[in-house]
Amino acid sequence: MCAVDNKKTVIPTRLIPGDTIGVVAPAGSFGMKAFYLGVSILKSMGFRISVSGDIFKKKGYLAGSDTHRAGVVNRLFADRTVKAVFCARGGFGSIRILPLLDFECIRENPKIFVGFSDISAILSVLYAKCGLATFHGPLVTSLADTDQETKTSMLSALSSGKQLKIRPAKGITIRAGNASGPVSGGNLNTLCHLIGTPFEPVYNGHILLLEDRGEPAYKIDRMLTQMKLAGCFDGLAGLALGSFKDCSISEDIFRIADNIFKKNPVPILAGFDAGHGARNITIPMGLKATLDADNHLLSYHKPATVPIS
């Protein structure tokens, strides 16, 4: 299992207007129109964008070879002029580059790293191997299809000194109670496939966020059951459910989650607008928060970024 190496979470430096965001494609290849629309949105927020031409490479359904994609990630972390790394697209491929990431370089050059879906594998591993707080948030190619609340949420998480309080607009209490711990997780399908690898996460004492897309109820049940049997939920502090776009009806998913945790009385709050929906709020990963399922609130104990020293 991939336990957190660092006892203390490393909080990255805050983004300010004029900072440079580097864009990487660690997974699937992507369409140019959606990509440049996303880049234009980031520029309109006051940031410079660094795009290396080699991220447009293709190898089948991937954005280039494993060595190439991992190399771009490593290069952007090593580049002191780049203050944040945003992912172009998810799809598939992140898990393939995990053994090729330069964790020593990343530890020495911690910075904001943003993505979701298949990128959950990298979010998880950067926290586990480097102690780095990461951000479950929009991809460059998804920015144009998101609403204003998504963009506002992202800026608040990355550029403000606020202690974030995230209240789902349509929160549903599946299991009452409250719990505190670092937030971890992401895409259910991706995290499930880390089981049995050297990069399998440890969720003991954590608040686990899960989301997915296009999965019927029986597959969600199967994945959660596999994680339960593998011991992933042992010692879990709480469960937060994001969006399950194009999956089975919400009531079926909530019933499955309630059944999976029937012998593990953790608070469960559903309805977070995090994932593949039109609204995809940014959720810091690796930072301590309190999940209050009764009052529909996830409140962080400190800001997700630190000011420039």
Active site residues: 117, 211, 276
How far, in Å, CA of 162 to CA of 171, rounded?
Answer: 22
Q: Cα dihedral sign for 25, 31, 34, 35?
A: positive
- Residue 194 CB-density burial (10 A; 0-12 exposed, 13-18 middle, 19+ buried): buried
Beta bridge partners of 306: 13
Cβ-based neighbours of 40, under 8 Å, separated by 6 or more: none
- Cα separation, 19 vs 16, in Å, equals 6
Amino acid at 260: I
Q: How far apart are CA 35 and CA 139, in angstroms?
A: 9
CA distance 257 to 135: 24
Q: H-helix or E-strand containing 212?
A: strand 207-213
- Read off the tokens for 99: 């053994």
Residue type at position 84: A
Fill in the amino acid letter for 290: T
H/E segment holding residue 243:
strand 238-245
The first and second tokens of residue 257, run together, are 């989650």
HSE at residue 14, side-chain half, CA atoms within 13 A, is 16
Task: Region of 114 please: left (phi>0), alpha (psi -120 to 50) or beta.
Answer: beta
